[in-house]
Amino acid sequence: MATGKTSTLTFRIEPALKEALRTAADREHRSIANMVGVLIRDYCSRNDITIPKQRAPLLEDAPKPKLRKR
C-alpha cells in the first residue's frame, strides 16, 4: 500500500520483540517497516482509531519547472 511520502520513526525495543517482528515479517514476505505499518493499521482497526487518509497532491502544489535563460 504505497502512500507517497513517509516519515522516519526510531525507537528502542526488546530484542525478543524485535526477533518476533522479524519472524512475522519474514512469514508474510514483508519488510520490517511494512510489517510495523500493518500491525499499527490492524490495531487501529480493532480499536476504532481512525487513520486519516493522505490527500493526493494537487497539480497546483507540484513544483514549477525552472526555465533556463537563453
51-68 pLDDT, tens digit per residue, is 988 776 666 666 777 777
* pLDDT tens-digit series, residues 23-35: 999 999 999 999 9
**In this structure, is residue 42 part of a structural domain?**
yes
Neighbours of 21 (CB within 10 A): 15
Split at pLDDT 50, 70, 90, the class of 40 is: very high
Count other C-beta atoms under 10 Å from residue 35's C-beta: 19
**Tell me, what's the pLDDT at 3?**
56
DSSP string, 10-57: -----HHHHHHHHHHHHHTT--HHHHHHHHHHHHHHHTT---PPPPPP
If one counts the domains in the chain, the total is 1
pTM: 0.68
Could you tell me the residue range of the domain that residue 42 belongs to? 15-52
Mean pLDDT of 27-49: 96
Would you state the pLDDT for residue 65? 74
The reply to whether 48 falls in a domain is yes
